[in-house]
Amino acid sequence: MPVLRQLDPLERPSVIGENVRYDDVNLRIAGIVTAPTPKGWLIGFGVAFLFVMLFMAAVTYLFARGIGIWGVNVPVAWGFAIVNFVWWIGIGHAGTLISAILLLLHQEWRTSINRFTEAMTLFAVACAGVFPILHLGRPWFFYWLFPYPSEMQIWPQFRSPLMWDVFAVSTYGTVSLLFWYVGLIPDFATMRDLARTRGKQMLWGVLALGWRGSAHHWKQYQMAYLLLAGLATPLVVSVHSIVSLDFSVGIVPGWHSTIFPPYFVAGAIFSGFAMVVTLILPIRHFYHLEDFITIRHLDNMAKILLVTGLIVGYGYLMETFIAWYSGNIFERFMVLNRILGPYWWVWALVVICNVMTPQVFWSKRMRVNLPVLFAASLAINVGMWVERYMIVVVSLHRDFMPGAWGMYSGTIWDWSTLLGTFGLFLALLFLFIRGVPMLSMAELRELVPSPRKERK
């Protein structure tokens, strides 16, 4: 963003590769879209699509038979669906953080990855939004969640956080989509100008909404983009806070905790950045984007992983401390049951993946070591899913009355739905990579280093 650029770009090291020239940006990023479909893409998309089919099958069977096909039952009435919902919605948060907060904080390095992570946010929200609806039991009545003047003359329960969830997630989805689209407009115009056939020109032209790149356009555009960033900023914090209230408003030990909102937000950003790293490393490699997504980007993301990982670790520590300090026997039992109970392996995985793994990023050598970074990001992705499993399932399976205790495990349909959303997410991501410029050309062009001869 020109308005947000440093006054003298020479004072800071270049965000993107030193040798990138102005033309390279269009050539290499738009080139990904205009080139013939690579074989690797077809294979990747094909595999992802298979999992989409698995998802469709699982959902169809669910609609036919009801949620009895899942593992949920009393006492664990919230299972995979809620775990997956929280996990997916958390993943989206990295995109919003990068596009909104890092923009307002003038972090230029965000430019190379914001488009991609915004798309990731959108697709993650789509995957997340599916689960609460599937979990409704009678999903075809999902519109009862919205306050509309129904002939039943009753409103949804506004005092329930589940209701706030509806607004939080739908706002989040809408603002993310707008933000993503507005960012794409100048790039759509570039694609239109590069297109050779009339049909493509028309298609990109419609998407570009008549963008001509005049000074007036840019002025309006930057204001709109800034305003959207301002709108999106509270969403980074609000969405996962409200998701956390789904739990902390309840009185179940392991849920009923005031630390939840900040702890969930940090966890969301933690898992979101882990997902960005997981996805961007292979894409950077296969599409040769090393000049745009540089080691510096990866280094920065690893640092964010370390910081948010520490916050999450602090959250675990506080939960444990308060269980002892409060003197509440149920809280204390909850913590002991987590560590020593039948789900001890869940707790162990959480600690290994979310607390121990990010500690490697204290070392710069590890931060820029791609295999280590990739492996760590995968571990964190798993760890954050397991963390939500710990919060949802392990808290519920043994609450107050020993007579009401029980065990839980996901059925094949639980796993199919989860794997199916992986497929949905990846298939959408493949389409995105192939269909629209995955890095922001308009913004990257502004980061192109001045040619050497001019830089006396």
Residues within the interface to another protein (CB under 8 A): 23, 26-27, 30-31, 34, 149-154, 190, 192-194, 201-202, 205, 209-210
Name the H helices within 195-259.
198-207, 215-248
Crossing angle of helices 260-286 and 114-134, in 10° steps, is: 120
Burial class (CB in 10 A: 0-12, 13-18, 19+), 268: buried
Compute φ and ψ for 454, nearest 5 degrees. -80, -10
Closest CA to 390 of 315, 307, 306, 300: 315
| Residue closer to another protein (CB basis): 47 or 206 | 206
Nearer to another protein, 8 or 151 (CB): 151
Nearer to another protein, 224 or 352 (CB): 224
Q: What is the DSSP string of 14-65?
A: -SS-TT--HHHHIIIIIHHHHSPPPHHHHHHHHHHHHHHHHHHHHHHHHHHH
Nearer to another protein, 27 or 251 (CB): 27
Residue closer to another protein, measured from CB, 7 or 214: 214
Closest distance to another protein from the beta carbon of 253 (Å): 27
Instruction: Kindly state the smallest distance separating residue 34's Cβ from another protein, in Å.
Output: 7
Cβ closest to another protein, residue 160 vs residue 363: 160
The helix (H) or strand (E) run that includes residue 302 is helix 295-325
C-alpha distances (whole Å) from 108 to each of 96, 283, 407 are 15, 21, 49
* Residue closer to another protein, measured from CB, 22 or 344: 22
Q: In the beta sheet, which residues pair with residue 20?
A: none
Burial class of residue 433 in the structure, from the number of CB atoms within 10 Å of its CB (0-12 exposed, 13-18 middle, 19+ buried): buried
Position of tokens 């690893």?
302
Tokens of 428: 């959408």
Write out the two tokens for 96: 């919003």
Closest CA to 187 of 208, 201, 210: 208
Which of 441, 440, 444 shows the shortest CA–CA distance to 119? 440
Structure tokens at 109: 């390095």
Residue closest to 343 by CA, chosen among 381, 404, 388: 388
- Choice between 34 and 220, CB closer to another protein: 34
Q: How far is the CB of 152 from another protein (least distance, A)?
A: 4
Q: How far is the CB of 193 from another protein (least distance, A)?
A: 4
Structure tokens at 340: 């020593």
When the beta carbons of 34 and 363 are compared against another protein, the nearer one is 34
User: At closest approach, how far in Å is the CB of 185 from another protein?
Assistant: 14
Give min distance, CB of 373 to another protein, in A: 32
Cα dihedral sign for 365, 370, 375, 376? positive
Q: Which two tokens stand for residue 56?
A: 């469709």
The CB density around residue 327, as the number of other CB atoms within 10 Å, is 8
Q: How far apart are CA 340 and CA 398, in angstroms?
A: 13
In one-letter notation, the amino acid at residue 248 is S
Query: C-beta of 222: minimal distance to another protein in Å?
Result: 22
Contacts of 345 by beta carbon, 8 Å cutoff, 6+ apart: none
The smaller minimum CB distance to another protein, of residues 27 and 336, is found at 27
Q: Residue 25 or 396: which CB sits closer to another protein?
A: 25
Tell me how far, at minimum, the Cβ of 23 lies from another protein, in Å.
Answer: 5
Q: Cβ closer to another protein: 37 or 153?
A: 153
Least CB distance to another protein at residue 75 (A): 21
Output the smallest distance, CB 134 to another protein, in A: 22
**Smallest Cα–Cα separation from 443: which of 101, 216, 233, 187?**
187
In the complex, least distance from residue 114 CB atom to another protein, rounded to whole angstroms: 23
The nearest distance, CB 163 to another protein, in angstroms, is 15
Name the residue with tokens 């192939």. Answer: 434
